[in-house]
A = this chain, B = another copy of it.
Amino acid sequence: MRVMVALGGNALLRRGEAMTAENQRRNVRIAAQALAPIGRAHQLIIAHGNGPQVGLLALQGDAYKSVETYPLDVLGAETEGMIGYMIEQELGNILPFEQPFATILSMVEVDPKDPAFANPTKPIGPVYTKEEADRVAAEKGWRMAPDGGGYRRVVASPLPRRLFQMRPIRWLLDKGCIVICAGGGGIPTMYRDDGKLYGVEAVIDKDRASALVARELLVDLFIMATDTDAVYVDWGTPKAKAISRISPDAILALEFAAGSMRPKVEAAAEFAQKTGKIAAIGALSDLSKIAEGKAGTMVTDAADKIEYYS
């Protein structure tokens, strides 16, 4: 079957861990161990986040004063190269030499009229004092908001409309390649009035972009790998229960505390609804079991009631 796995950016650089190349490499190696059995048994497409990596590039760019920090679309392109390289190399070291790989630079179109642009919410780069923040805002036209004990730049997170490189991705899958694409949700771009495509200072949700690609590729299984082993009801209470199978409508009706689970749940539900295929949310370390239907939360039209792990 055809399987797409979306890796969280934090699967590659863990929260609180120093953002060194060594740490990132070690985490990619762990992810590669989890991905390898899927790569052996199935057609595999890998997407990944890039939050911590873009953050580091923004901090490094800010620290070097002679050249203005590069815009977010370019930083996103850099992280697609960096992370794609590490995944391709580490997974290539496990799978047979004959297995072809391709990391495809991925650009995504967003709508200039997306309401997210009126209400930027994603914090990026260094923490400034109030005075610095006011100066930077005036100088660069950035939107700033309180975060991390000071002020940070905030950017929009518009919806992905299409990924431009779908045809090469499809052609390579058909040839048996493991394809790494849609890194960081894809590089955000938009058409302006002159009919030309420009980069945009924004970030695209990685799960939504991955769901879009999974849908277009009509994958049989779309897995969002994260740090929790399933979606829970009553999370953080003694009644907490891990969901094994649930329908799109039922999971959309659940309430989640703010955080990263809501976008995953929406991406999973939309994928399952539109394709009739299975979306799963679970732990990176459980990937093989998720592919066998024995771990993680499966979102599928075929579920007529909510089932739980006992």
Residues on A facing B (Cβ under 8 Å): 18-21, 56-57, 59-68, 70-71, 73-74, 77-82, 84-86, 88-89, 92-93, 100-105, 107, 164-165, 167-168, 171-172, 175, 177, 180, 187, 189, 196-197, 199
Contacts and interface: CB of A to CB of B under 8 A. Distances in A.
A88 B107 contact: yes
Given A62-B64, A80-B81, 13 more contacts: A21-B74, A56-B64, A56-B67, A57-B60, A60-B67, A64-B64, A85-B187, A89-B107, A102-B102, A104-B104, A167-B177, A171-B177, A172-B172
Contacts of A172: 168, 171-172
B102 A165 contact: yes
A64 B67 contact: no
Nearest to A177: B168
A63 B101 CA distance: 34
A21 B199 CA distance: 12
A184 to B, nearest CB: 10
A68 B105 contact: no
Nearest to A68: B20
A65 B70 CA distance: 19
Contact of A74 (B60, B67, B85, B105): B85
* Most chain B CB atoms below 10 A, which of A74, A101, A168: A168
Nearest to A167: B100
A143 to B, nearest CB: 20
Contacts of A103: 104-105
A164 B103 CA distance: 12
Contacts of A196: 93
Contacts of A77: 81-82, 84-86
